[in-house]
Chain A
Amino acid sequence: MADTLIRLRDDAASTAPVLTLAEIAGVSNAAAVRLVPGDDARALLPLIDQLELVEIAFPAYTDGRGYSAARILREYGYRGELRAVGDVLVDQISHYARCGFDAYQPDQPLTRAAVDKAIATWPEVYQRTVDGRVPIWALRHG
C-alpha cells in the first residue's frame, strides 16, 4: 500500500498553511514554508525556531539543489519537519535522509517499507553530515 505522505517523526504533522518564501515575508507567525529550487534556504534562518515544517520541492529528482537547502537548514539547527515533495524516488531516499529530510511526499507511489530499506542501504558512511551517523574516519580512530 503506497502512502502519500511518509513521516519518520513521532510528532503530529503541522497543520499550518504552507507559504512560499515570498509569502512569509509579511507573516510574523509563519510555521510552514515551501522552498523551490533556486530559493535561498538561508532566508529562513531568522525563523528557524518557529518553523514546524519546511517542504523542499523536487520538480525533477535530477535537480539536486534541495539537498543543499536541507542540509544547510539542519546545520543551522532547524529541528522541525523537513519534507521532500515531488519527484521523490526510492533510489534517492538514502541521500535525502543523510541531508536531514525526515518526511517524504512523493508523486509516485512509495511505501514505508521501501523507505526504511533505502535508508539502510549503506552499512556505514564516509562523510559527517546532519543525520548523526558517525563517519568511517571517526570509527577507525575510536
Chain B
Amino acid sequence: MYLYDTYDQAMVDARVAEFSDQVARRLAGTLSEEQFRPLRLKNGLYLQLHAYMLRVAIPYGTLNARQMEMLGQIADRYDRGYGHFTTRQNIQYNWIRLDDAPAILADLASVGMHAIQTSGNCIRNTTADHFAGAAADEVADPRPYAELLRQWSTFHPEFDYLPRKFKVAIIGSETDRAAMKLHDIGIQVVKNAAGETGLRVHVGGGMGRTPMIGPVIRDWLPPLQMISYLEAALRVYNRYGRRDNKYKARIKILVHELGAAAYAREVEAEFAHILTLGLEPPQAEFDRIKAQFADPAFDAAAPHDIDLSDPDFALWVDQNVHPHKAPGYGIVTISLKPVGGIPGDASADQIRLMARLARAYSFDELRVTHAQNIVLPHVRRADLYTIWQALDGAALASANLDLISDIIACPGLDYCSLANARSIPLAQKISQRFGDIQRQRDLGELKLKISGCINACGHHHAGHIGVLGVDRKGLENYQLLFGGSEGADTSLGAIIGPGFSEDGVVDAIEAATNVYLAHRSGDERFLDTYRRIGSAPFKQAIYG
C-alpha cells in the first residue's frame, strides 16, 4: 500500500498546526462558532446531539496494522472505547472533546493519518473498491488513481468552497463494490479491445433527498488526463452549480437541469483549455505510486484445499471469504454486524485484534468497506481457520456477509443532529428477528439499508430493502423501500406504501421476505424476484 514520503507527511503536519491554531482561537473566543464551524467541518469535526464527533479519513478505505492500532488507541484514550466504521470507508468517534481534537490529530499524523476534508463543501475523501488489488475479477487496480486523486484533492485551493460536498469513488472491475454510480463522480478503470487502459467517468450520481444514478459523461479518458478532466468537471460545477438552495446544490442537480450532454459539452470546453496548462502529474509519478501497490510476495505454493470439517468454520468460509486473484489465497471480510449489535461499531480491543491479524496474516493490510465491515485482503486459505478462531473469540465471526443482518445503518437519532428517527435500535431488532443464520442463508443475498433521515447516509435508496426514518407528527416513523441496488445493476428503491412504527416495519420486512420465498424462482435473489413480480404481491402481503 501507499506510504507517505516526507512531502506527504509535511502536508499532514502543517494541517495539524493550522487546525490546532484554529481550535485555540475558538477556545480563546477570537473565532466565533459561526466562523469556526466551516473550519472544523473541513477537518471532520461535527457538533452532534451529545458531543463533538470526529470523522477520520481512511483514504480509499486502506490502512495498515499500525494505523488500525492507532484507531483503537484513540478510541480508548479520547472516546468511550469504541469507534464506528462508516459507509464512507472512514471511522467516526462520537464522544470527542473539542480541546482534545488537536492531540488526536497529532496522534493520527504520527501514523500518516488525518481528518482532512472529511466534511465540508469540498472534495471529500476518495472511496474505492475494498477488494482492489485482491479480487479475482479485477480488470485494473484502481488504487494508484485513487492515490493520485487523494493528493490532487488535498487542499485544492479552487474547490474548497463548492456549492456542496463532493464525493468521488473509483473501481476497477465490472462488479461494483463501491456504489460508484451513486457518487458525484464515479470512475471505472476499464480496458479496451486492444488492452489499453482508460477511465469511464460518471458524473451526477448521488443519494440524499434527490437520488440519481450518475450518467456516463466521458466514456473513455486516457488515464493520465484524469486530473485535468476532473479540474474541468469541478470548475464547471463550482461556477454553475446552484447556491440558492442547499438541497439543490449537489452536482447531480446541475447535470440533471443542464442535461448530461450539455454538461459534458461544458466540461469538454474547459478540459480543452486545462490540457494546455500542464496540470497533470507525469507518468513517472503514476509509476512511483503504482509501484507501492505492487502485489505482496504471495506464496506460490499456498494450498487451495483446506479442512472444512468444522461446520461453523465452513459456513463462515462460504459466506465471508471471497475468491482471490492469487491461488491459495482468499479475501476475508470481518463482519461488524453481530446479531443485536450496532452496525459498524468496533471496540478498541476488536480493532487491535483485527490489526494483529492483518499484520500476521494479510501482509499488514486492512480495508474498510462502505458496507461497514473490515477486510483482510490477502489471506492464505491455510490460515483461515486460525483467523476464524481468533475472530470467533472476539465476537467478530458472524457469517452473515451480504445477508439480511449485514445491515448498513447510519448513526441516526441516537447521535446525529440531522436525524428524524433512530436507526440503530431498528437494525438491532431486525437482526434479532432474523437471528438464525440458516434462515438468513436461505433468504440469500439481501442488502438491507437504514437511514434515519432523508439525507440517506444509510444508503436506503440502494437497499434491496431500504428503510427511511421520518418524523411523523412528532413520532418516529419508518418508510419501506424495495428494489434498490448499489452494484453493477444500480437501481433506486421505491417506497412501497404508508410508513410503520419500529415494530411494524420489522413485521413488514418479514412479510416481504415470505413473499419472496413463495415466489422465488431458481437462484433468484430477493431483488431479482422483486424486479420480476413487481410490488403488488408485496403490498398485498404487507397492507392486506
Contacts and interface: CB of A to CB of B under 8 A. Distances in A.
Contacts of B18: 121
Interface in A51-86: 61-65, 67-69, 71, 75
Interface in A24-38: 37
Given A68-B235, A124-B10, A140-B7, A91 B22 contact: yes
Q: How large is the interface on B (under 10, 10 to 19, 20 to 34, 35 or more residues)?
A: 35 or more
Nearest to A96: B157
B166 to A, nearest CB: 11
A117 to B, nearest CB: 9
Q: Interface centre among B10, B235, B239, B279, by most A CB within 10 Å?
A: B239
Given A67-B238, A68-B235, A123-B11, A62 B279 contact: no
Which secondary structure dominates chain B's binding surface? helix
Nearest to B234: A68
Interface in A96-113: 96-99
A85 B115 CA distance: 30
Given A71-B158, A123-B11, A63 B243 contact: yes
A135 B154 CA distance: 12
Contacts of B243: 37, 63, 65
Interface in B227-276: 235, 238-239, 243, 273
Nearest to B5: A140
A95 interface: yes
Contacts of A98: 157-158
B475 interface: no
Contact of A141 (B151, B161, B284): B284
Contacts of A62: 38, 121, 161
B7 A136 contact: yes
Q: How large is the interface on A (under 10, 10 to 19, 20 to 34, 35 or more residues)?
A: 35 or more
A67 B11 contact: no
A71 to B, nearest CB: 6
A67 B157 contact: yes
Contact of A123 (B14, B152, B158): B14
Nearest to B35: A89
Contacts of A69: 239
B288 interface: yes
Nearest to B237: A68
B154 A126 contact: yes
B278 A128 contact: yes
Interface string A112-136: 0000000001111111110000011
A70 to B, nearest CB: 9
B239 A65 contact: yes
A95 B157 contact: yes
A118 B279 CA distance: 24
Q: Interface centre among B5, B11, B161, by most A CB within 10 Å?
A: B161
B279 A127 contact: yes
Contacts of B35: 89
A1 interface: no
Contacts of B155: 95, 122, 125-126
A59 to B, nearest CB: 11
B282 interface: yes
A68 B238 contact: yes
A135 B5 CA distance: 14
Contacts of A75: 273, 277
A140 B161 contact: no
A121 B155 CA distance: 11
B33 interface: no
A128 B157 CA distance: 10
Contact of A64 (B11, B14, B160): B160
Contacts of B281: 135, 137
A68 B162 CA distance: 10
A139 interface: yes
A127 B123 CA distance: 14
Contacts of B5: 140
Interface string B282-318: 1011001000000000000000000000000000000
A62 B165 CA distance: 12
27 contacts: A63-B243, A64-B238, A65-B238, A67-B159, A67-B161, A68-B239, A71-B158, A89-B35, A92-B160, A92-B161, A95-B160, A98-B157, A121-B14, A121-B18, A122-B14, A122-B155, A124-B7, A125-B155, A126-B152, A126-B156, A127-B279, A128-B278, A129-B157, A136-B151, A137-B282, A140-B285, A141-B284
- The 4 A-B pairs of least Cβ separation, nearest first, read A64-B161, A98-B157, A95-B157, A137-B281
Given A65-B243, A141-B285, 12 more contacts: A67-B157, A68-B158, A69-B239, A75-B273, A92-B161, A121-B14, A122-B11, A122-B14, A127-B152, A127-B279, A128-B279, A129-B157
